Amino acid sequence: MAEQSGQNVEFWREAYDEHGAALFAFLRHRVKNRQDAEDLLQDVFIRVIKTDTELREPSRVKSYLFSTAYNLTINYFRRRKFDDLSSNGDDPNVDPFEQVPDVHRLQPDHEAEWMDLNEHVLTSMEALNERYKTAFQFGVLEGRAYNEIARMTGWTDAQVKVNVHRARKAIIKDLRDRGVLEENQW
């Protein structure tokens, strides 16, 4: 049993290394708050590790992680809306129907489109040189501040700005060349 547990820990560590950044970007895009996205990312892995019953197909781990992230995001918004409703419940000036979340924001087909685009972006990243890949990862996917990226990489703030810009430009060009984006998009 201990051997299986050790293998399981390594399996999820590798899953985090491989998919953690994309999951964080997904969560950050959804909740718009870095701290909440970090908390949700941690919750995703806690949940999948606790409920892991030996994935029959390790190739499906990514979809398993993203499905879990999606469900936790829905719970996050439900909890926030409930908190907002209960905190405004005694205020006669607040219309409770205005507190209902935008249903289009949480529709699975929109999430599927976003996840598909995310896959294409990750594929496009593979073609970048290491400098641009790092800049794109930290600046775009993780949403780090330029001065933080400069401290982490040893680049100047100007170098960070240029590298992030060029990486974005290269990703967009690749997505257009592959027909993922139309010319008038981005």
DSSP code string of 24-86: HHHHHHHH--HHHHHHHHHHHHHHHHHH----S-GGGHHHHHHHHHHHHHHHHHHHHHHHHHH
- Give the helix/strand (H/E) hosting 18: helix 2-31
pLDDT given at position 96: 47
The three-point CA angle 46-82-30 to 5° equals 55
Q: Could you identify the residue written with the tokens 């027909």?
A: 179
Is the pLDDT confidence value at 9 over 80? no
Is the pLDDT confidence value at 129 over 90? yes
pLDDT given at position 84: 52
Amino acid of residue 79: R
User: Which of 8-17, 23-32, 87-96 is least confident?
Assistant: 87-96
Q: Could you identify the residue written with the tokens 């979340």?
A: 101
Tell me: the pLDDT tens digits for 55-106?
656 777 887 888 788 878 887 877 776 555 455 555 555 544 444 444 444 4
Instruction: Supply the CATH classification number for the domain 1-102.
Output: 1.10.1740
Average pLDDT, the chain: 76
Query: How many separate helices (H) and strands (E) can be counted in the chain?
Result: 7, 0
pLDDT given at position 76: 82
How many Å apart are CA 159 and CA 114, to the nearest integer? Answer: 29
The greatest distance separating any two alpha carbons of the chain, rounded to the nearest whole angstrom, comes to 60
Q: What percent of the chain has pLDDT over 70?
A: 72
pLDDT given at position 54: 60
Per-residue confidence band for 112, with pLDDT thresholds at 50, 70 and 90: low
How many Å apart are CA 181 and CA 186, to the nearest integer? Answer: 8
Per-residue confidence band for 3, with pLDDT thresholds at 50, 70 and 90: very low
pLDDT given at position 154: 93
Q: Which residue has the higher pLDDT, 87 or 45?
A: 45
| 154-162 own/partner pairs: CB under 8 Å, 24+ apart | 160/135
User: Which of 27-31, 107-111, 140-144 is least confident?
Assistant: 107-111
Q: Does domain 107-186 have CATH number 1.10.10.10?
A: yes
Q: Could you identify the residue written with the tokens 């240029």?
A: 162
Q: Are 174 and 127 in contact (CB under 8 A)?
A: yes
Per-residue confidence band for 107, with pLDDT thresholds at 50, 70 and 90: low
Domain residue extents for the chain: 1-102, 107-186
